[in-house]
Amino acid sequence: MQADYVIVGAGSAGCAMAYRLAEAGKRVLVIEHGGTDAGPFIQMPGALSYPMNMKRYDWGYQTEPEPHLGGRRLVTPRGKVIGGSSSINGMIYVRGHARDFDTWRDMGAEGWGYADVLPYYKRLEHWHDGGHGGDPDWRGKSGPLHVTRGPRRNPLTRAFVEAGRQAGYPVTGDYNGQQQEGFGPFDMTVWKGRRWSAASAYLKPALKRANCDLIRALARRVVIENGRAVGVEIERGGKVEVIRAEVEVILAASSLNSPKLLMLSGIGPGAHLAEHGIEVVADRAGVGQNLQDHLELYIQAAASQPISLYSYWNLLGKAYVGARWLLTKTGPGASNQFESAGFIRSEAGVEYPDIQYHFLPIAIRYDGQATPEGHGFQAHTGPMRSPSRGSVTLRSADPKDDPVIRFNYMSHEKDWSDFRKCIRLTREIFAQEAFAPYYKHEIQPGADVQTDDELNGFIREHVESAYHPCGTARMGRRDDPLAVVDPEARVIGVDGLRLADSSVFPLIPNGNLNAPSIMVGEKAADHILGKTPLPADNAEPWINPTWRTAQR
């Protein structure tokens, strides 16, 4: 078994690269440990809480006990299925703020500023505004990834945006266009009522070509001979074999599994590899370091009217939603129900948004548990740029062992003050006139939780991952001792090996990570093919003119 390019991981970036390399006539083999994405649990947007809680589709990772969260272990879902995490995520589509990518460039990822990545966002998208306005000039019209908007029929969804406006924040018609800051409609990777994952957009069309194949197997390590990657050792059906790559091996196995594979292959912090008896091929201190994530809280309110999605939260309601979706691909099951968003700045002097809101017209947890209060609504909120950093390290030299994941969440005082601010700002939004017809009382944290200490206790107990791990093989200059890949996604210190997925993000972008992960795959494909990158697009993003002196 051999090909020009062997890609490990059929996730957001891996699928995009497979598509572009196959389109260019290269022979491509994709190695994926997970199986099919067929079936309603993945394909029905409204069923999003199911796949990420199913062993069949998820690697089942969790963190080590987190010292600043009272020793809690947090679940860390990653997709083990074609499409990777784009097949089990919440289908929310956020490019990130222009300034995020300018920061990447300034941190040494030359050629990855906003002007450089905007053309790739346009190339990957097929955007449909759904009659909700937006910035068509900033969006792509013919890419493989369909991006749509929910119908926004629930009055709570509209009340959230109006409450943001009443609280003094901007309203934006398209946070993925010129102006991220403000409140407005959410974009989602849903098309014709179905989840539109990277598998649907990229992998399945690529596999229709004679020069692209998929192998279902566990990747054990990269085979390196004389300093050059020549293949991937895999295990399938109890047998270990090597898949040869004639040109390059490309890792796209996630920010948790890509650094693990590098270390199993002898690329990583030398002392750590020696601890596990792994021969050091390239001593790269940054492998597995710089781990970042977004944490969030649900601020929940009970509703005074029976207008939330709780109406469907019973056997009969779920049967109706499921049957309608199966028959017509319409109804509540055809939306992820995240239909209104908010991006705000936490204080004066912050140049661009550092708090994100996901609004949901039901009070419910990610594991599908509805609040005993019945009808309600919630805003998921959290800071976007935590200073905390963690690591992914090896548990052993056995490829079947889970990596050791330590996020080191909430390790800075700024994390705590930022979260307290998030709670207080959310309470203020819920107190606006727009919610007056619907707001009954606060469920969580609860009206009696007010002081800094009380809020800290609530945060410690209830904060959850937004499932945005990244940064563990960061991109930078070749002379940067902590960089793992260069700006063309080449692993520093080994020939014939690239890495392109959310591991390479130097800094976590504003918002959800699916869109930037696909963008990284798209842009890396051009570097792999030796193409001149798309011409820079110097469109100027909107920055609040009063940011130096005002919070809103």
Cα 101 to chain centroid distance, Å, stands at 16
Residue 468 falls in the annotated catalytic set? yes
Q: What is the model's pTM?
A: 0.98
Distance of CA 529 to the CA centre of its chain: 26
Name the strand (E) or helix (H) holding 428: helix 413-430
Residue 96: its pLDDT value, please? 98
Note whether 201 and 144 are within 8 A (CB): yes
Find, among 10, 12, 35, the residue nearest to 207 by Cα: 10
Dump pLDDT digits (tens) for 62-74.
Answer: 999 999 999 999 9
Task: Kindly name the residue from 68, 272, 468, 527 that is annotated as catalytic.
Answer: 468
Query: What is the identity of the amino acid at 193?
Result: G
Q: What distance in Å separates the CA atoms of residue 458 and residue 464, rounded to the nearest whole number?
A: 12
**Where do the H-state alpha helices sit in 84-203?**
98-106, 114-124, 155-166, 198
pLDDT in the model for residue 130: 73
What per-residue confidence (pLDDT) applies to 366? Answer: 67
Low-confidence ranges of the chain (pLDDT < 70): 366
What's the pLDDT tens digit per position in 176-200?
999 999 999 999 999 999 999 999 9
Q: Three-state secondary structure along 111-139?
A: CCCHHHHHHHHHHHEEECCCCCCCCHHHC
Give kind and range of the element (H or E) at residue 62: strand 61-62
pLDDT of residue 330: 96
- How far apart are the C-alpha atoms of 99 and 113, rounded to whole Å? 8
Residues in the chain: 552
Query: Which residues lie below 8 Å from residue 146, measured CB to CB, with a gap of 6+?
Result: 126, 128, 189, 190, 191, 196, 201
Q: Name all domains of the chain by residue range, CATH numbers in brackets.
A: 1-133+188-291+392-398+467-537 (3.50.50.60), 151-185+295-383+411-462 (3.30.410.40)
Phi, psi of 184 (to 5 degrees): 180, -170
